[in-house]
Amino acid sequence: MGDLVQQGVTQQDYSVTSAVLAVGVFALLTLALAWANARFPRVRGVTHGVPVIIVRDGIPDLQRLRTERMSLDDLMADARQKGIRRFDEIELAVLETNGRVSFFTRAGGAGEGAPEQPGIA
């Protein structure tokens, strides 16, 4: 919006009308989309997208990755940043609407987790 206002102010005719019109249109569109997202839940899928499962039970969905334009190298780089070394450690990986990947790993063995407390059943 700052660029729209700047263009309207620095034009040679010094008319602010076009800048006010441009900013007003974008403000109204923003309000209309926010209202539509709040009123109609199905619109949210179009305007914000939906999360997509890209790995299930350690097997990457290559077709889905291709559709989302994500390579196996990108996926593995994200996994390494979360401390995951191999695909078979991943139970589920979800490509979120903001572009980040959420990883859910398999439950660990008996050595992981909180220690048992004596006397509590």
pLDDT in tens, 101-120: 999 998 753 444 444 445 55
Q: How does DSSP classify residue 73? A: H
- Whose CA is closest to 101, among 72, 113, 112, 88? 72
Q: How many residues does the chain have?
A: 121
The model carries a pTM of: 0.63
Confidence of residue 34 (pLDDT cuts 50, 70, 90): very high
Domains defined for the chain, CATH in brackets: 2-45 (no CATH), 52-105 (3.30.240.20)
Query: What is the per-residue DSSP string for 2-43?
Result: HHHHHHHHHSTT---HHHHHHHHHHHHHHHHHHHHHHH-HHH
- Whose CA is closest to 75, among 55, 57, 91, 56? 55
